[in-house]
Amino acid sequence: MLYIKVTLFSEERNYMAKPPLGNRTLIRAINRSAVLNMIKTHGSIARTDIAQFTGLSAATVTGITAELIERGLIIEKEEGDSSGGRRPILLAINPSGGYVIGIKLMEHQVIGALTDLEATIIAKHIEKFPDHSLGTITDTLVGVIDKLLLDMDIDKAKLFGVGIGLAGIIDAKKGNLRYSPIFGFRDVPLGKLLRTRLEVPVFIDNDVNTLTLTEQLFGSGQGIDNFITITIGRGVGMGIVVNGQLYRGANGGAGEFGHTVIDPEGPPCACGKRGCLETYVSDPALLKMALKAFSDGEMTEEVRTIEELNALAQVGDHTARAIFKQAGEKLGIGIANLFNIFSPQEIIISGEGVRAGELLFEPMRASIEQHVMPGLDVQDAVIRIDVWDDDVWARGAASLVLQEVFNSPLNIEKTEDNVIAF
Protein backbone atom coordinates (compact mmCIF):
# COMPACT_ATOMS: atom_id res chain seq x y z
CA MET A 1 0.00 0.00 0.00
CA LEU A 2 1.27 3.44 -0.93
CA TYR A 3 1.56 5.89 1.95
CA ILE A 4 2.02 9.58 1.36
CA LYS A 5 3.66 11.63 4.06
CA VAL A 6 2.08 15.04 4.47
CA THR A 7 3.58 17.81 6.57
CA LEU A 8 0.81 19.79 8.22
CA PHE A 9 0.41 22.56 10.73
CA SER A 10 1.41 21.62 14.25
CA GLU A 11 -0.55 23.05 17.13
CA GLU A 12 2.43 22.49 19.45
CA ARG A 13 4.86 24.83 17.69
CA ASN A 14 6.34 27.75 19.59
CA TYR A 15 5.01 30.87 17.93
CA MET A 16 6.59 34.28 18.44
CA ALA A 17 3.06 35.53 18.89
CA LYS A 18 -0.02 33.47 19.58
CA PRO A 19 -1.98 33.11 16.33
CA PRO A 20 -5.42 34.68 16.14
CA LEU A 21 -8.31 32.45 17.17
CA GLY A 22 -9.57 32.24 13.57
CA ASN A 23 -6.19 30.95 12.39
CA ARG A 24 -6.01 28.35 15.15
CA THR A 25 -9.54 27.21 14.31
CA LEU A 26 -8.57 26.83 10.65
CA ILE A 27 -5.40 24.92 11.54
CA ARG A 28 -7.44 22.61 13.74
CA ALA A 29 -9.94 22.05 10.90
CA ILE A 30 -7.14 21.34 8.40
CA ASN A 31 -5.52 18.79 10.72
CA ARG A 32 -8.87 17.17 11.52
CA SER A 33 -9.57 16.84 7.79
CA ALA A 34 -6.14 15.25 7.25
CA VAL A 35 -6.78 12.70 10.00
CA LEU A 36 -10.27 11.90 8.70
CA ASN A 37 -8.97 11.47 5.15
CA MET A 38 -6.13 9.24 6.28
CA ILE A 39 -8.65 6.95 7.98
CA LYS A 40 -10.97 6.98 4.95
CA THR A 41 -8.14 6.25 2.52
CA HIS A 42 -6.64 3.33 4.44
CA GLY A 43 -9.83 1.76 5.77
CA SER A 44 -8.37 0.85 9.16
CA ILE A 45 -5.30 2.53 10.61
CA ALA A 46 -3.64 2.97 14.00
CA ARG A 47 -3.14 6.35 15.65
CA THR A 48 0.64 5.92 15.51
CA ASP A 49 0.51 5.41 11.75
CA ILE A 50 -1.67 8.49 11.33
CA ALA A 51 0.89 10.54 13.24
CA GLN A 52 3.75 9.10 11.18
CA PHE A 53 2.18 9.67 7.78
CA THR A 54 0.70 13.11 8.47
CA GLY A 55 3.59 14.52 10.49
CA LEU A 56 1.24 15.48 13.33
CA SER A 57 2.24 14.86 16.91
CA ALA A 58 0.81 11.89 18.79
CA ALA A 59 -0.97 14.29 21.16
CA THR A 60 -2.66 16.12 18.28
CA VAL A 61 -3.78 12.87 16.66
CA THR A 62 -5.11 11.58 19.98
CA GLY A 63 -7.09 14.76 20.57
CA ILE A 64 -8.55 14.88 17.08
CA THR A 65 -9.49 11.21 16.98
CA ALA A 66 -11.15 11.50 20.40
CA GLU A 67 -13.25 14.36 19.05
CA LEU A 68 -14.16 12.40 15.91
CA ILE A 69 -15.13 9.35 17.99
CA GLU A 70 -17.31 11.50 20.24
CA ARG A 71 -19.07 12.93 17.21
CA GLY A 72 -19.63 9.45 15.81
CA LEU A 73 -17.61 9.96 12.61
CA ILE A 74 -15.04 7.25 13.36
CA ILE A 75 -15.01 4.08 15.44
CA GLU A 76 -12.41 1.84 17.04
CA LYS A 77 -12.16 -1.57 15.43
CA GLU A 78 -10.28 -4.82 15.94
CA GLU A 79 -6.70 -4.66 17.09
CA GLY A 80 -3.97 -4.53 14.47
CA ASP A 81 -0.82 -6.61 14.06
CA SER A 82 1.75 -6.25 16.82
CA SER A 83 5.48 -5.85 16.30
CA GLY A 84 6.17 -7.22 19.78
CA GLY A 85 4.44 -4.75 22.05
CA ARG A 86 0.84 -4.00 22.75
CA ARG A 87 -1.46 -4.60 19.76
CA PRO A 88 -2.66 -1.23 18.37
CA ILE A 89 -6.31 -0.25 18.22
CA LEU A 90 -7.37 0.54 14.65
CA LEU A 91 -9.61 3.43 13.62
CA ALA A 92 -12.15 3.36 10.79
CA ILE A 93 -14.87 5.56 9.36
CA ASN A 94 -18.22 4.96 11.03
CA PRO A 95 -20.57 4.57 8.04
CA SER A 96 -23.64 5.40 10.14
CA GLY A 97 -22.02 8.42 11.76
CA GLY A 98 -24.08 10.62 9.46
CA TYR A 99 -26.06 10.54 6.25
CA VAL A 100 -26.33 12.45 3.01
CA ILE A 101 -28.91 12.51 0.24
CA GLY A 102 -27.91 12.58 -3.41
CA ILE A 103 -30.36 13.45 -6.16
CA LYS A 104 -30.14 13.13 -9.92
CA LEU A 105 -32.58 15.57 -11.51
CA MET A 106 -33.57 14.18 -14.90
CA GLU A 107 -35.91 15.33 -17.64
CA HIS A 108 -39.04 13.67 -16.29
CA GLN A 109 -38.09 12.24 -12.92
CA VAL A 110 -35.99 12.56 -9.79
CA ILE A 111 -33.76 9.73 -8.55
CA GLY A 112 -32.97 10.18 -4.87
CA ALA A 113 -30.62 8.09 -2.74
CA LEU A 114 -29.86 8.14 0.96
CA THR A 115 -26.24 7.12 1.56
CA ASP A 116 -23.97 6.64 4.53
CA LEU A 117 -20.53 8.22 4.93
CA GLU A 118 -19.00 5.60 2.62
CA ALA A 119 -21.42 6.55 -0.18
CA THR A 120 -23.22 3.21 0.17
CA ILE A 121 -26.83 3.57 -0.93
CA ILE A 122 -29.16 2.44 1.84
CA ALA A 123 -32.44 3.70 0.40
CA LYS A 124 -33.64 4.95 -2.98
CA HIS A 125 -36.76 6.65 -4.26
CA ILE A 126 -37.81 7.64 -7.78
CA GLU A 127 -40.48 10.27 -8.34
CA LYS A 128 -41.84 11.53 -11.66
CA PHE A 129 -43.09 15.09 -12.09
CA PRO A 130 -45.87 16.22 -14.45
CA ASP A 131 -44.40 19.49 -15.75
CA HIS A 132 -41.23 21.58 -15.88
CA SER A 133 -42.32 24.51 -13.77
CA LEU A 134 -39.88 25.57 -11.07
CA GLY A 135 -42.53 25.15 -8.37
CA THR A 136 -43.31 21.58 -9.41
CA ILE A 137 -39.66 20.60 -9.54
CA THR A 138 -38.77 22.09 -6.14
CA ASP A 139 -41.85 20.49 -4.57
CA THR A 140 -40.82 17.13 -6.03
CA LEU A 141 -37.25 17.46 -4.77
CA VAL A 142 -38.41 18.34 -1.25
CA GLY A 143 -40.90 15.48 -1.30
CA VAL A 144 -38.25 12.92 -2.28
CA ILE A 145 -35.92 14.11 0.46
CA ASP A 146 -38.64 14.02 3.12
CA LYS A 147 -39.73 10.54 2.05
CA LEU A 148 -36.22 9.10 2.20
CA LEU A 149 -35.74 10.41 5.74
CA LEU A 150 -39.18 9.26 6.86
CA ASP A 151 -38.96 5.77 5.35
CA MET A 152 -35.57 5.09 6.97
CA ASP A 153 -36.46 6.88 10.23
CA ILE A 154 -33.45 9.19 9.96
CA ASP A 155 -33.43 12.29 12.15
CA LYS A 156 -32.72 15.37 10.04
CA ALA A 157 -30.07 16.31 12.63
CA LYS A 158 -27.99 13.38 11.29
CA LEU A 159 -28.32 14.60 7.69
CA PHE A 160 -25.13 16.40 6.70
CA GLY A 161 -26.67 17.80 3.56
CA VAL A 162 -28.23 17.27 0.13
CA GLY A 163 -26.39 17.11 -3.19
CA ILE A 164 -28.14 17.59 -6.52
CA GLY A 165 -26.68 16.80 -9.92
CA LEU A 166 -28.24 17.80 -13.23
CA ALA A 167 -27.25 18.66 -16.76
CA GLY A 168 -26.40 22.28 -17.48
CA ILE A 169 -24.08 25.10 -16.55
CA ILE A 170 -24.03 25.55 -12.80
CA ASP A 171 -22.24 27.94 -10.48
CA ALA A 172 -21.53 25.41 -7.74
CA LYS A 173 -20.08 27.99 -5.35
CA LYS A 174 -23.28 30.03 -5.32
CA GLY A 175 -25.66 27.13 -5.91
CA ASN A 176 -27.08 28.84 -9.00
CA LEU A 177 -28.40 27.03 -12.04
CA ARG A 178 -27.07 29.35 -14.74
CA TYR A 179 -28.56 27.46 -17.68
CA SER A 180 -30.52 24.22 -18.01
CA PRO A 181 -30.91 22.88 -21.57
CA ILE A 182 -33.59 20.46 -20.36
CA PHE A 183 -35.81 22.83 -18.37
CA GLY A 184 -34.93 26.11 -20.04
CA PHE A 185 -34.10 27.74 -16.69
CA ARG A 186 -31.63 30.60 -16.52
CA ASP A 187 -30.05 32.04 -13.38
CA VAL A 188 -32.20 30.14 -10.88
CA PRO A 189 -30.88 30.12 -7.26
CA LEU A 190 -31.90 26.49 -6.83
CA GLY A 191 -29.56 25.83 -3.91
CA LYS A 192 -30.90 28.75 -1.89
CA LEU A 193 -34.53 27.89 -2.66
CA LEU A 194 -34.08 24.38 -1.33
CA ARG A 195 -31.96 25.39 1.68
CA THR A 196 -34.73 27.74 2.77
CA ARG A 197 -37.29 24.95 2.69
CA LEU A 198 -35.16 22.10 4.02
CA GLU A 199 -33.00 23.98 6.53
CA VAL A 200 -29.96 21.82 5.69
CA PRO A 201 -26.94 22.53 3.47
CA VAL A 202 -27.73 21.99 -0.23
CA PHE A 203 -25.08 21.71 -2.96
CA ILE A 204 -25.76 21.56 -6.69
CA ASP A 205 -23.43 20.88 -9.60
CA ASN A 206 -23.29 19.54 -13.12
CA ASP A 207 -24.08 15.83 -12.99
CA VAL A 208 -20.81 14.77 -14.64
CA ASN A 209 -18.88 16.77 -12.04
CA THR A 210 -20.69 14.80 -9.34
CA LEU A 211 -19.61 11.52 -10.94
CA THR A 212 -16.06 12.81 -11.10
CA LEU A 213 -16.15 13.57 -7.38
CA THR A 214 -17.33 10.02 -6.70
CA GLU A 215 -14.37 8.64 -8.65
CA GLN A 216 -12.03 10.95 -6.74
CA LEU A 217 -13.39 10.11 -3.30
CA PHE A 218 -14.30 6.43 -3.64
CA GLY A 219 -13.42 5.15 -7.11
CA SER A 220 -10.48 4.69 -9.44
CA GLY A 221 -9.58 8.38 -9.21
CA GLN A 222 -8.41 8.06 -5.59
CA GLY A 223 -4.86 9.26 -5.26
CA ILE A 224 -4.68 10.48 -8.88
CA ASP A 225 -4.00 14.18 -9.26
CA ASN A 226 -4.88 14.56 -12.94
CA PHE A 227 -7.73 12.62 -14.50
CA ILE A 228 -10.81 13.16 -16.65
CA THR A 229 -14.25 11.56 -16.53
CA ILE A 230 -16.21 11.35 -19.79
CA THR A 231 -19.85 10.29 -20.00
CA ILE A 232 -21.53 9.19 -23.19
CA GLY A 233 -25.21 8.48 -23.71
CA ARG A 234 -27.99 11.00 -24.21
CA GLY A 235 -25.21 13.59 -24.48
CA VAL A 236 -21.46 13.78 -23.99
CA GLY A 237 -20.13 15.29 -20.76
CA MET A 238 -16.83 15.71 -18.99
CA GLY A 239 -15.44 16.26 -15.50
CA ILE A 240 -11.86 17.47 -15.01
CA VAL A 241 -9.51 17.00 -12.06
CA VAL A 242 -6.30 19.05 -12.25
CA ASN A 243 -3.67 18.89 -9.49
CA GLY A 244 -6.14 17.06 -7.27
CA GLN A 245 -8.90 19.68 -7.63
CA LEU A 246 -12.13 19.51 -9.59
CA TYR A 247 -11.86 22.15 -12.31
CA ARG A 248 -15.15 23.92 -13.02
CA GLY A 249 -13.87 26.92 -14.95
CA ALA A 250 -15.27 30.42 -14.74
CA ASN A 251 -18.81 30.32 -13.29
CA GLY A 252 -19.06 26.55 -13.73
CA GLY A 253 -18.78 26.49 -17.52
CA ALA A 254 -15.98 23.94 -17.94
CA GLY A 255 -16.54 20.44 -19.27
CA GLU A 256 -18.80 20.94 -22.31
CA PHE A 257 -16.85 18.27 -24.17
CA GLY A 258 -19.87 17.30 -26.26
CA HIS A 259 -19.95 20.76 -27.80
CA THR A 260 -16.36 20.87 -28.96
CA VAL A 261 -16.46 21.07 -32.74
CA ILE A 262 -14.99 18.04 -34.53
CA ASP A 263 -16.06 19.08 -38.04
CA PRO A 264 -17.45 22.59 -38.75
CA GLU A 265 -19.16 21.17 -41.85
CA GLY A 266 -20.72 18.34 -39.87
CA PRO A 267 -24.32 17.71 -38.81
CA PRO A 268 -26.28 20.50 -37.07
CA CYS A 269 -26.28 20.38 -33.27
CA ALA A 270 -29.05 21.40 -30.89
CA CYS A 271 -26.73 24.08 -29.53
CA GLY A 272 -26.82 25.91 -32.88
CA LYS A 273 -23.35 24.93 -34.15
CA ARG A 274 -22.40 22.21 -36.61
CA GLY A 275 -20.23 19.16 -36.17
CA CYS A 276 -20.16 19.04 -32.36
CA LEU A 277 -18.89 15.78 -30.88
CA GLU A 278 -22.42 15.01 -29.65
CA THR A 279 -23.68 14.93 -33.26
CA TYR A 280 -21.50 11.86 -33.83
CA VAL A 281 -21.37 10.08 -30.47
CA SER A 282 -24.59 10.65 -28.47
CA ASP A 283 -27.42 8.09 -28.52
CA PRO A 284 -29.83 10.42 -30.40
CA ALA A 285 -27.14 11.03 -33.04
CA LEU A 286 -26.52 7.32 -33.56
CA LEU A 287 -30.24 6.63 -33.91
CA LYS A 288 -30.58 9.50 -36.38
CA MET A 289 -27.82 7.97 -38.52
CA ALA A 290 -29.50 4.56 -38.33
CA LEU A 291 -32.87 6.00 -39.36
CA LYS A 292 -31.28 7.70 -42.37
CA ALA A 293 -29.44 4.53 -43.33
CA PHE A 294 -32.72 2.57 -43.24
CA SER A 295 -34.57 5.18 -45.31
CA ASP A 296 -31.70 5.14 -47.85
CA GLY A 297 -31.92 1.35 -48.10
CA GLU A 298 -28.51 0.80 -46.49
CA MET A 299 -29.98 -1.11 -43.53
CA THR A 300 -32.53 -3.87 -43.88
CA GLU A 301 -34.00 -3.40 -40.41
CA GLU A 302 -35.43 -0.26 -38.84
CA VAL A 303 -34.20 0.36 -35.30
CA ARG A 304 -35.88 2.56 -32.70
CA THR A 305 -33.58 2.15 -29.72
CA ILE A 306 -29.85 2.07 -29.08
CA GLU A 307 -30.27 -1.49 -27.77
CA GLU A 308 -31.69 -2.56 -31.15
CA LEU A 309 -28.88 -0.83 -33.05
CA ASN A 310 -26.30 -2.46 -30.80
CA ALA A 311 -27.86 -5.90 -31.27
CA LEU A 312 -27.89 -5.44 -35.04
CA ALA A 313 -24.22 -4.49 -35.04
CA GLN A 314 -23.33 -7.42 -32.80
CA VAL A 315 -24.75 -9.91 -35.32
CA GLY A 316 -22.66 -8.36 -38.09
CA ASP A 317 -24.77 -5.73 -39.88
CA HIS A 318 -22.12 -3.74 -41.74
CA THR A 319 -23.96 -0.41 -41.70
CA ALA A 320 -24.73 -0.62 -37.97
CA ARG A 321 -21.10 -1.46 -37.27
CA ALA A 322 -19.99 1.45 -39.47
CA ILE A 323 -22.12 3.85 -37.41
CA PHE A 324 -20.39 2.77 -34.19
CA LYS A 325 -17.00 2.82 -35.93
CA GLN A 326 -17.45 6.43 -37.00
CA ALA A 327 -18.62 7.38 -33.49
CA GLY A 328 -15.55 5.72 -31.98
CA GLU A 329 -13.22 7.48 -34.39
CA LYS A 330 -14.74 10.90 -33.64
CA LEU A 331 -14.65 10.21 -29.90
CA GLY A 332 -10.98 9.27 -30.29
CA ILE A 333 -10.24 12.60 -31.97
CA GLY A 334 -11.86 14.42 -29.09
CA ILE A 335 -9.97 12.40 -26.48
CA ALA A 336 -6.68 12.90 -28.33
CA ASN A 337 -7.30 16.64 -28.03
CA LEU A 338 -7.82 16.18 -24.29
CA PHE A 339 -4.50 14.36 -24.02
CA ASN A 340 -2.85 17.18 -25.97
CA ILE A 341 -4.31 19.82 -23.64
CA PHE A 342 -4.34 18.15 -20.21
CA SER A 343 -2.00 15.14 -20.43
CA PRO A 344 -4.08 13.25 -17.82
CA GLN A 345 -2.90 10.19 -15.95
CA GLU A 346 -6.25 8.50 -16.42
CA ILE A 347 -9.45 8.91 -18.44
CA ILE A 348 -12.59 7.21 -17.16
CA ILE A 349 -15.37 6.66 -19.72
CA SER A 350 -18.82 5.85 -18.38
CA GLY A 351 -22.49 6.38 -19.08
CA GLU A 352 -25.17 4.48 -20.92
CA GLY A 353 -23.19 4.59 -24.18
CA VAL A 354 -20.46 2.25 -22.95
CA ARG A 355 -22.74 -0.72 -23.57
CA ALA A 356 -21.61 -0.66 -27.23
CA GLY A 357 -18.30 -2.09 -26.00
CA GLU A 358 -15.57 -2.78 -28.54
CA LEU A 359 -17.80 -1.68 -31.40
CA LEU A 360 -17.02 1.82 -30.12
CA PHE A 361 -13.80 1.47 -28.18
CA GLU A 362 -11.61 -0.39 -30.66
CA PRO A 363 -11.85 2.41 -33.29
CA MET A 364 -11.62 4.98 -30.48
CA ARG A 365 -8.25 3.66 -29.29
CA ALA A 366 -6.88 3.59 -32.85
CA SER A 367 -8.06 7.15 -33.40
CA ILE A 368 -6.44 8.37 -30.18
CA GLU A 369 -3.08 6.91 -31.18
CA GLN A 370 -3.41 8.48 -34.64
CA HIS A 371 -4.24 12.00 -33.45
CA VAL A 372 -2.42 12.48 -30.14
CA MET A 373 0.76 14.55 -30.25
CA PRO A 374 3.91 12.40 -30.48
CA GLY A 375 5.93 12.33 -27.29
CA LEU A 376 3.02 12.50 -24.86
CA ASP A 377 3.40 8.79 -23.99
CA VAL A 378 -0.32 8.19 -24.13
CA GLN A 379 0.42 4.47 -23.71
CA ASP A 380 1.34 5.21 -20.09
CA ALA A 381 -2.10 6.70 -19.40
CA VAL A 382 -4.99 4.51 -18.29
CA ILE A 383 -8.25 4.57 -20.23
CA ARG A 384 -10.82 2.89 -18.02
CA ILE A 385 -14.29 1.87 -19.14
CA ASP A 386 -16.74 2.00 -16.24
CA VAL A 387 -20.09 0.23 -16.59
CA TRP A 388 -22.81 1.15 -14.10
CA ASP A 389 -26.53 1.81 -13.71
CA ASP A 390 -28.60 4.93 -12.96
CA ASP A 391 -28.01 4.64 -9.20
CA VAL A 392 -24.50 5.98 -9.61
CA TRP A 393 -25.87 9.39 -10.67
CA ALA A 394 -27.56 9.82 -7.29
CA ARG A 395 -24.51 8.43 -5.49
CA GLY A 396 -22.43 10.98 -7.38
CA ALA A 397 -24.68 13.79 -6.22
CA ALA A 398 -24.23 12.57 -2.65
CA SER A 399 -20.49 13.04 -3.13
CA LEU A 400 -21.09 16.79 -3.38
CA VAL A 401 -21.83 16.65 0.33
CA LEU A 402 -19.24 14.01 1.20
CA GLN A 403 -16.44 16.10 -0.31
CA GLU A 404 -17.37 18.83 2.16
CA VAL A 405 -17.02 16.32 4.99
CA PHE A 406 -13.67 14.90 3.89
CA ASN A 407 -11.89 17.70 2.04
CA SER A 408 -9.51 20.17 3.63
CA PRO A 409 -11.05 23.59 4.41
CA LEU A 410 -8.36 25.05 2.14
CA ASN A 411 -9.86 23.22 -0.83
CA ILE A 412 -13.52 24.04 -0.27
CA GLU A 413 -15.26 27.28 -1.13
CA LYS A 414 -18.16 27.69 1.26
CA THR A 415 -20.81 30.32 1.62
CA GLU A 416 -21.83 31.45 5.08
CA ASP A 417 -25.28 29.87 4.88
CA ASN A 418 -24.13 26.54 3.44
CA VAL A 419 -21.58 25.13 5.88
CA ILE A 420 -21.65 21.57 7.23
CA ALA A 421 -21.20 21.61 10.99
CA PHE A 422 -19.52 18.57 12.55
Note the pLDDT tens digit of each residue in 40-61.
888 889 999 999 998 999 999 9
Same domain, 179 and 252: no
pLDDT for 3 beyond 50: no
pLDDT for 151 beyond 50: yes
Domain membership of residue 281 (yes or no) is yes
pLDDT of 408 reads 64
Same domain, 273 and 367: yes
Domain membership of residue 2 (yes or no) is no
pLDDT of 15 reads 35
pLDDT for 14 beyond 50: no
pLDDT tens-digit map of 371-397: 988 877 667 788 999 876 667 878 888
pLDDT of 403 reads 82
Same domain, 232 and 371: yes
pLDDT of 26 reads 79
Average pLDDT for 68-83: 79
Same domain, 77 and 207: no
Q: Name the domain boundary from 76, 93, 110.
A: 93
pLDDT for 4 beyond 50: no
Instruction: Output the average pLDDT for the chain.
Output: 86
pLDDT for 183 beyond 50: yes
CA distance 418 to 421: 9
Same domain, 209 and 113: yes
Contact (Cβ atoms closer than 8 angstroms) between residue 214 and residue 396: yes
Q: Name the domain boundary from 93, 120, 154.
A: 93
CA distance 187 to 167: 14
pLDDT tens-digit map of 293-323: 999 999 888 999 999 999 999 999 999 999 9
Domain membership of residue 346 (yes or no) is yes
Same domain, 69 and 109: no
Same domain, 192 and 128: yes
pLDDT for 276 beyond 90: yes
Q: Name the domain boundary from 40, 72, 93.
A: 93
Domain membership of residue 420 (yes or no) is no
Same domain, 199 and 58: no
Same domain, 237 and 367: yes
Average pLDDT for 127-156: 94
pLDDT of 265 reads 93
Contact (Cβ atoms closer than 8 angstroms) between residue 379 and residue 341: no
Same domain, 237 and 306: yes
With a pLDDT cut of 70, the percent of the chain lying above it is: 88
Average pLDDT for 319-336: 96
pLDDT of 405 reads 80
User: Could you write out the three-class secondary structure of the chain?
Assistant: CCCCCCCCCCCCCCCCCCCCHHHHHHHHHHHHHHHHHHHHHHCCEEHHHHHHHHCCCHHHHHHHHHHHHHCCCEEEEEECCCCCCCCCEEEEECHHHCEEEEEEECCCEEEEEEECCCCCEEEEEEEECCCCCHHHHHHHHHHHHHHHHHHCCCCHHHEEEEEEEECCEEECCCCEEEECCCCCCEEECHHHHHHHHHCCCEEEEEHHHHHHHHHHHHCCCCCCCCEEEEEECCCEEEEEEECCEEECCHHHCCCCHHHCECCCCCCECCCCCECECHHHHCHHHHHHHHHHHHHCCCCCCCCCCHHHHHHHHHCCCHHHHHHHHHHHHHHHHHHHHHHHHHCCCEEEEECHHHHHCHHHHHHHHHHHHHHCCCCCCHHHCEEEECCCCCHHHHHHHHHHHHHHHHCCHHHCCCCCCCCCCC
Domain membership of residue 332 (yes or no) is yes
Domain membership of residue 258 (yes or no) is yes
pLDDT of 17 reads 42
How many separate domains does the chain show? 3
User: 11-20, 132-141, 174-183, 360-369: which has the minimum mean pLDDT?
Assistant: 11-20
Same domain, 232 and 334: yes
Average pLDDT for 82-91: 71
pLDDT tens-digit map of 195-251: 999 999 999 999 999 989 888 887 888 889 999 999 999 899 999 999 989 999 887
Domain membership of residue 339 (yes or no) is yes
Same domain, 235 and 329: yes
Average pLDDT for 174-190: 91
pLDDT for 90 beyond 90: yes
**153: CATH:** 3.30.420.40
Q: Which residue has the higher pLDDT, 19 or 286?
A: 286
User: 163-167, 386-390, 403-407: which has the minimum mean pLDDT?
Assistant: 386-390
Domain membership of residue 14 (yes or no) is no
**What range does the domain containing 68 cover?**
21-93
> How many CB atoms sit inside 10 A of residue 379's CB?
7
Write down the pTM of the prediction: 0.79
